[in-house]
Amino acid sequence: MSNLPDATRQGVEPLDRMEPAEVVQPSRWRSIWDADVTWSFRHSPVAVVAAVVTLAMILSAIFAPWIATTNPFDPASLNLMNGFSRPGVPNAFTGESFWLGTDDQGRDVWSTILYGLRISLFVGFMAVLFALVLGVLLGLLAGYVGGWVETIIMRVADVQLTFPSILVALLIFGVARGVIPIEYRDQMAIWVLIVAIGLSDWVQFARVVRGATLVEKNKEYVQAARLIGRKPGAIMLKHILPNVLSPVLVIATISLALAIIAEATLSFLGVGAPPTQPSLGTLIRIGQDFLFSGEWWILFFPALTLLALALSVNLLGDWLRDALNPRLR
Amino acid sequence: MDMPVLSLRNLTVDIPTRHGTLRPVDDVSWDIAAGEILGVVGESGAGKSMTGNAVIGLLDPPAHISAGEVLLEGERIDNYTLAQMRRVRGKRIGMVFQDPLTSLNPLLTIGEQLSETILRHLDVSRSEADARAIQGLDEVGIPSARNRMGAYPHEFSGGMRQRVVIALALCAEPTLLIADEPTTALDVSVQAQIIALLKRLCRERGMAAMLVTHDMGVIAETADRVAVMYAGRLAEIGPVSQIVGQPRHPYTDGLMASTPAASAGQARLRQIPGAMPRLNRMPDGCAFHPRCPRAQDKCRVNPGPKVGTADERAACWFPIEQDEAAA
Amino acid sequence: MSLVSVQNLTRVFDVSKPWLNRVIERLPKRMLTAVSDVSFEIPARTTYALVGESGSGKSTIGKMVVGLLRPTEGHVEIEGVDLVTETDAAVIDRIRSDIQMIFQDPFASLNPRWRVRDIIVEPVAARGGDTVGLAEKLLTQVGLSPDDAGKYPHQFSGGQRQRICVARALASEPKLIVCDEPTSALDVSVQAQVLNLMSDLKDEHGLTYLFISHDLTVVRHMADTIGVLYLGRLVEEAAPGDLFTKPAHPYTAMLIEAAPRLDAFGREVEPPEGEIPDPTDPPSGCAFHPRCPLATEICSVERPRLEAFGSGRVACHHAGEIALKGAA
């Protein structure tokens, strides 16, 4: 009996009077940023610290050219004599002091970290954005259209899930390498990295959005929109999309941490960002060569930065999931 | 008069939230005697289900009883521990909820569920428990009960499932039955069957029952006495014929008059303007005064007189008098 | 001329298990005939009510009338146009804007992320119409404040939301509004407000309603004509005055007697027998015969046709033989 199309749902007893929802004048913020979420943020020290660290890193990446003492990739500003300066100790030859030290080429580690953070964050954000757009669109389509469209999209997703995402990224990277002519390789490397990580990460977006869409599309507001003859595209984007975004936000945050780590892993393996545009992962790979000869700072500070960044973003994502979860419909 | 089976004394339930404390049940008192069916009516959010949950100790935290007492056969049970309460539920208080599926374990046959419950609460042998289970199913009108003992809940229709739930609630021979919207999810014809069943069982066993529902028709046909709740407070309580026939509280009056059945043949239904206040925006004085046609200054300051134990039926400063209603 | 004409409407749902399960378990396809051969007419400016219990197919008919579902057989004509076969886009658009629907659940029928203004004017905005001041005007008409246009649905109670749904339904100035259980999720006192509002608007705007409900008392109050459905078939159709005093079909009589009444304290009703049968496997002949007090041999063999009886129509071999127990 339960699968009857018109099984009446009597006795729907809304508990809205139980909710202590304050009736404030609606502001633009309220629709996106529910008051409960901000409250939970204010009362979670971990979230506040994580947010401050993340924000500080993003800002220093954006303003790297102004904060950094030198541009480490401008050969004119380098002095080989400054090589292997210890952190905070004046260089024996030039007398210059670098508070995080320098590498073998005399590049200031502090500056390379700022510039590396730029690449890492840029790749991370773009890869997540790519995965998000792709995953959300495919998830919406699968959930709303159903039928064989759904079957194809979700089977592809299932197959991809059986491979570790780093393997998928490696594969895509390898293929791109073979296709792109050698003179463009360094130039295109960042974009290849973005596509590789993004393609390995769209599945979770698609799965979550499809699930939420299946719930939303049977709600009566969607039927009301169909009734007046709105096209499926308009219904998906204007009606359903805004209502499935909160879980997407959570996944996007956690994915950002994963994407940054994935980028670092690929770069560490030597298949990611080229040495001309080093990311944190590239810096760690370079630093690794000097670890056992005593120049620990070349590895340590980029690694610490990566750890702090990935941890903060992840903690932020965890908090966001907990804050939004009881409200996920 | 004999000791009532269930007594509520100034029962108050609070929910602390970060925006202040909400009070879904506010100072509610009533008695239910053996063999009596008390109908509790009210609109959604009136606190009627919350009152039932408070009695059986199933309030969802942070909701809790902040004042008052719950007496079961003269014994205070609101301060019982969880373990003590578990022995009371099922043994001395039977429960029936709106959705029969949530009360039944889908993985066990109904025979197993019934026998288990009987064995847990009564000192009987296994075969005796089985026999009682069959007898219980028989009593609630399950045809060929012996053969259906091995059936799973999903093999029953909605109405039959609710019968099984009733058999389950009654198998340990409780003295009090709490039924929360037991017929709301059912079709009209099945609803009539379940109501008739509940009435017959209460009469035969001399069991007290608290029937929570929003359906005035169900109350009118089933209850001996009626308690009308509004915004967590008791608005009026009295014998069913008086509550339905000569309501004294303006809210009760409006509630009765706004049912389409009451105004059959009229072009317009009588309506109460506005809606019940949200718990966090309770008006001062009588909670009903913003919607009340009889409200005066006194009502805006003082909540109505207390009801439930004294002679006064309605928590209203200016109740509708009988001669008025006739005019 | 009737505004709505429903002819031999039938809808079959495939409720089989997935293909692979069917093959492995060697199960046949299972078909559920939710609506079977239903015909009725709704004259303009009247209210036609469909009543029935769960599984009667009433909501499915509503969805086919507004064009949310395609009929398996038969057709729905609105102002003489069948939306399924019509090819002229301009005509389709005109008819579409003449039909609106009000749903049961006021919490699910408004998009929580949209402002009330945008929700109300969507039927007009989607066609590129002029929406300046429209939401405010409609909100006033349904008894809300024009200032409410800038708010979001969660700021309203259930009754107020249903008023917003009514305002949205009125936006495109429709002729027909299909109301699918519009008040069954509302409290009694609020239900009265919404029903009164709907009656008022019907007079003001010359509306036609197809009113779908399980609640006989509501239907009696609202309808000009009532169609009673049982397992997807129309079993009786009559004006409320006749239907409630002299029901001709035993099922109608059973529904009326089973409905709880306010004036019947301690009424000892003889509850009706049995429950609604499995709609995928309906009884032979008249689907009601296993529960019918009047059933004879012919009822289990031959399905009665819906034929004129008194002022209405009824599908029963023993039409008019039933008597109500106790005055209605």
The torsion angles phi and psi of A46, rounded to 5 degrees, stand at -60, -45
Residue B189 pLDDT > 70: yes
For chain B, the residue count is: 327
pLDDT at C50: 95
Residues 6+ apart with CB under 8 A from B177: B93, B94, B95, B96, B169, B170, B198, B202, B207, B208, B209, B210
Question: Which residues does residue C100 pair with via DSSP β-bridges, in sequence order?
Answer: C177
Contact (Cβ atoms closer than 8 angstroms) between residue A253 and residue A316? yes
> Which residue of A8, A150, A230, A241 is the best one to mutate when testing the C interface, meaning the one whose CB has the most C CBs within 10 A?
A8
Residue A143 pLDDT > 50: yes
Domains of chain C in start order, with CATH, are: 2-223 (3.40.50.300), 249-328 (no CATH)
Question: Which carries the bigger pLDDT value, residue A327 or residue B299?
Answer: B299
Q: What number of CA atoms fall less than 13 Å from residue C279's CA on the CB side?
A: 28
Of C101, C184, C279, the CB nearest to A227: C101
Reported as a single tens digit per residue, the pLDDT across B163-179 is: 899 888 888 889 999 99
Contact (Cβ atoms closer than 8 angstroms) between residue A279 and residue A273? yes
Q: What number of CA atoms fall less than 13 Å from residue B246's CA on the CB side?
A: 13
The 10 Å Cβ neighbour count of residue B287 is 24
Residue B286 pLDDT > 70: yes
Question: Which carries the bigger pLDDT value, residue A140 or residue A95?
Answer: A140
Residue B265 pLDDT > 70: no
**What CA–CA distance (Å, rounded) separates A163 from A147?**
26
Confidence of residue C269 (pLDDT cuts 50, 70, 90): low
CATH number at residue A239: 1.10.3720.10
pLDDT at C326: 55
Report yes or no on A215 lying in a domain: yes
The boundaries of the domain holding residue A157 are 116-279
Confidence of residue A3 (pLDDT cuts 50, 70, 90): very low
Domain count for chain A, please give it.
Answer: 1
| Most confident of the ranges A79-88, A203-212, B278-287 | A203-212
Residue A237 pLDDT > 70: yes
pLDDT at C21: 79
Residues 6+ apart with CB under 8 A from A192: A172, A173, A176, A177, A180
Among residues C102, C96, C143, C138, which one has the least CA distance to residue C117?
Answer: C138
Domains of chain B in start order, with CATH, are: 6-92+174-262+270-326 (3.40.50.300)
| Most confident of the ranges A107-111, B319-323, C67-71 | C67-71
Reported as a single tens digit per residue, the pLDDT across A65-75 is: 888 777 777 77
Question: Which carries the bigger pLDDT value, residue C230 or residue A274?
Answer: C230
CB contact under 8 Å between B214 and C188, yes or no, is: yes
Report yes or no on A266 lying in a domain: yes
Contact (Cβ atoms closer than 8 angstroms) between residue A203 and residue A153? no
Residue A46 parent element (H or E): helix A45-62
Among residues B197, B199, B125, B204, which one has the least CA distance to residue B167?
Answer: B197
CB contact under 8 Å between B184 and A10, yes or no, is: yes
Question: Which carries the bigger pLDDT value, residue C178 or residue A96?
Answer: C178
Residue C40 pLDDT > 90: yes
- Rounded to the nearest integer, the mean pLDDT of chain C is 88
Report yes or no on A216 lying in a domain: yes
- Rounded to the nearest integer, the mean pLDDT of chain A is 80
Report yes or no on A167 lying in a domain: yes
Question: Which residues does residue B242 pair with via DSSP β-bridges, in sequence order?
Answer: none
Pick from A268-282, B239-253, C128-142: least confident:
A268-282
pLDDT at B305: 77
Contact (Cβ atoms closer than 8 angstroms) between residue A298 and residue A109? yes
The 10 Å Cβ neighbour count of residue B235 is 28
- Give just the sign of the alpha carbon dihedral C261, C262, C263, C268: positive
Contact (Cβ atoms closer than 8 angstroms) between residue B138 and residue B193? no
C279 touches chain B (CB under 8 A): no
Distances (CA, A) of B42 to A117, B47, C64, C87: 61, 8, 36, 52
Reported as a single tens digit per residue, the pLDDT across A179-209 is: 888 777 777 888 888 888 898 889 999 999 9
Percent of all residues in chain A with a pLDDT value above 70, rounded to a whole number: 87
Q: In chain A, which residue's Cα lies nearest the Cα of B277?
A: A17
Report yes or no on A242 lying in a domain: yes
Percent of all residues in chain A with a pLDDT value above 90, rounded to a whole number: 27
Q: C56 contacts in A (CB within 8 Å)?
A: 6
Report yes or no on A237 lying in a domain: yes
Residue B7 parent element (H or E): strand B6-17
pLDDT at A18: 36
Distances (CA, A) of A241 to A136, A210, A220, C161: 8, 11, 15, 22
Residue A13 pLDDT > 70: no
Residue B56 in tokens? 């059986």
**What CA–CA distance (Å, rounded) separates C182 from C195?**
9
Contact (Cβ atoms closer than 8 angstroms) between residue C286 and residue C299? yes
Residue C3 pLDDT > 80: yes
Parallel/antiparallel/unpaired status of strands B93-96 and B176-180: parallel
Query: SS3 for B179?
Result: strand
Looking up tokens 């205070």, which residue turns up? B76
pLDDT at A26: 47
Residue A192 parent element (H or E): helix A185-199
C51 touches chain B (CB under 8 A): no
Question: Which carries the bigger pLDDT value, residue A54 or residue C278?
Answer: A54
**What CA–CA distance (Å, rounded) separates B73 from B6?**
6
Predicted complex ipTM: 0.85
Average pLDDT over residues B119-140: 88
Reported as a single tens digit per residue, the pLDDT across B221-241 is: 889 999 999 999 999 998 988
Angle between the N-to-C axes of helices A241-268 and A165-179, in degrees from 0 to 180, rounded to the nearest 10: 70
Residue A89 pLDDT > 90: no
Contact (Cβ atoms closer than 8 angstroms) between residue A99 and residue A109? no
CB contact under 8 Å between B268 and C199, yes or no, is: yes
Chains in touch with B (≥3 Cβ pairs < 8 A): A, C
Chain C from 36 to 65: CB within 8 A of any A CB = 54-60, 63
Q: In what side-by-side order are the strands of the sheet with C47-51?
A: C99-102, C176-180, C208-213, C47-51, C225-230, C233-238, C312-314, C307-309
Residue B107 pLDDT > 60: yes
Of A12, A229, A239, the CB nearest to C96: A229
**What CA–CA distance (Å, rounded) separates B55 from B65?**
9
**Shortest Cα–Cα distance, C95 to chain B (Å):** 30
Q: C262 contacts in B (CB within 8 Å)?
A: 216-217, 220, 244, 256, 259, 261-262
pLDDT at B312: 66
The 10 Å Cβ neighbour count of residue C174 is 20
Q: C158 contacts in B (CB within 8 Å)?
A: 44
Query: SS3 for A258?
Result: helix
Average pLDDT over residues A255-267: 89
Reported as a single tens digit per residue, the pLDDT across C97-112 is: 899 999 988 889 999 9
Confidence of residue B149 (pLDDT cuts 50, 70, 90): confident
Question: Which residues does residue B66 pair with via DSSP β-bridges, in sequence order?
Answer: none
Pick from A79-93, A173-187, C191-205: least confident:
A79-93
Percent of all residues in chain B with a pLDDT value above 90, rounded to a whole number: 16
pLDDT at B143: 82
pLDDT at C170: 92
pLDDT at A43: 79
Confidence of residue C166 (pLDDT cuts 50, 70, 90): very high
CB contact under 8 Å between C199 and B215, yes or no, is: no
Q: In chain B, which residue's Cα lies nearest the Cα of A40?
A: B18
Report yes or no on A102 lying in a domain: no
**Shortest Cα–Cα distance, C310 to chain A (Å):** 31
Average pLDDT over residues B43-53: 88
Looking up tokens 């995080």, which residue turns up? A100
Average pLDDT over residues C153-172: 90
Distances (CA, A) of B285 to A45, A265, B82, B281: 42, 67, 36, 12
Residue A22 pLDDT > 60: no
**What CA–CA distance (Å, rounded) separates C178 from C196?**
16
Residues 6+ apart with CB under 8 A from C3: C42, C43, C44, C78, C79, C175, C176, C208
Query: SS3 for C41?
Result: strand
Chains in touch with C (≥3 Cβ pairs < 8 A): A, B
Residue A31 pLDDT > 70: no
Parallel/antiparallel/unpaired status of strands B225-230 and B233-239: antiparallel
Report yes or no on A140 lying in a domain: yes
Confidence of residue A173 (pLDDT cuts 50, 70, 90): confident
